[in-house]
């Protein structure tokens, strides 16, 4: 079932949706849908560029924990609504106090037993690059850009470096993190942050193909291999 007002004909994960489905979908910071053994989590604050506000972090953390604990789920897909996958930390106040830190979210993704596949259909900056890099396998739309923009606002990308640096050459990491420049999806693949890039129209099909292969693996073997 999709939390936040989706079809009632699919198995639920977590608390049931409210009765007013359209209002709930609009209000839900992230949405969770479970179908055919795959949990899809959707970042759902497009007007705010899916920044990691308290409500987004809390919703994302709750959904990741629910998906990782559900034995019926074989894989998790993380994607977004809007033209931005995630713009990193919120620079404005949040209506909801965070119950998770960015470290908690990255740990849930990296240490959880289920494979997390990033279906990245929007730009990634700051902490959003870390979220993308924390995915076990990631596919990005060719019209997207990524950037370690923290230095432009006087912050070091310390937290996300834990998941980004193991994927990158030191030379590439130094250039991109120190300059704060945004790079193309193709360059993001070249430096190892993302697995593959496809045309926007091919993104869904590429991820579906990947998921069809992942669900064939034994759950215990997949968890052990991931760890």
Q: DSSP string spanning 49-93?
A: TT-B-HHHHHHHHHHHHHHHH-TT--EEEEEESSSEEE--B-SS-
Residue that is written with structure tokens 């990296």 in the block: 110
pLDDT tens per residue, range 159-213: 999 999 999 999 999 999 999 999 999 999 999 999 999 999 999 999 999 999 9
Other CB atoms within 10 A of residue 196 CB: 13
Instruction: Give the separation between CA 171 and CA 129, rounded to whole angstroms.
Output: 18
Q: What is the mean pLDDT of residues 99-112?
A: 96
Q: Is the pLDDT of residue 70 over 80?
A: yes
pLDDT of res. 27: 67
pLDDT digits (tens, 9 = 90+) for 123-138: 999 999 999 999 999 9
Q: Which of 104, 107, 102, 131 is nearest to 119 (CA)?
A: 131
Q: Please report, for the chain, how many H helices and E strands are present, in that order.
A: 9, 10
Bigger pLDDT: 8 vs 76 = 76
Residues 6+ apart with CB under 8 A from 117: 75, 76, 77, 78, 135, 136, 137, 138, 139, 207, 210, 211, 214
Distance separating alpha carbons of residues 2 and 79, to the nearest angstrom: 14
Q: Residue 92: what pLDDT?
A: 81
Cβ atoms of residues 105 and 61 within 8 Å = yes
With H, G, I as helix, E, B as strand and everything else as coil, classify residue 215.
Answer: coil
Among 144, 143, 52, CA closest to 92 = 52
């Amino acid at each position: 079932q999709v939390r936040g007002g989706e079809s009632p004909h699919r198995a639920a994960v977590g608390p049931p949706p409210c009765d007013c489905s359209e209002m709930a979908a609009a209000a839900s910071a992230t949405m969770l849908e479970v179908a055919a053994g795959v949990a899809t989590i959707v970042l759902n604050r497009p007007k705010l560029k899916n920044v990691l506000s308290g409500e987004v972090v809390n919703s994302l953390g709750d959904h990741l924990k629910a998906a990782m604990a559900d034995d019926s789920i074989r894989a998790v897909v993380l994607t977004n609504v809007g033209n931005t996958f995630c713009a990193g930390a919120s620079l404005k106040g949040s209506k909801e106090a965070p119950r998770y830190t960015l470290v908690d979210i990255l740990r849930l993704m990296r240490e959880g037993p289920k494979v997390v596949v990033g279906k990245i259909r929007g730009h990634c900056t700051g902490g959003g690059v870390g979220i993308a890099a924390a995915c076990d396998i990631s596919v990005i739309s060719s019209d997207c850009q990524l950037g370690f923009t923290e230095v432009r606002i006087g912050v070091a990308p310390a937290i996300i470096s834990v998941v980004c640096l193991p994927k990158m050459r030191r030379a590439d990491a130094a250039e991109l993190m120190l300059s704060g420049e945004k790079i193309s999806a193709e360059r993001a693949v070249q430096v190892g942050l993302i697995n593959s890039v496809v045309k926007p129209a091919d993104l869904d099909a590429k991820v579906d193909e990947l998921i069809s292969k992942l669900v064939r693996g034994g759950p215990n073997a997949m968890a052990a291999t991931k760890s």
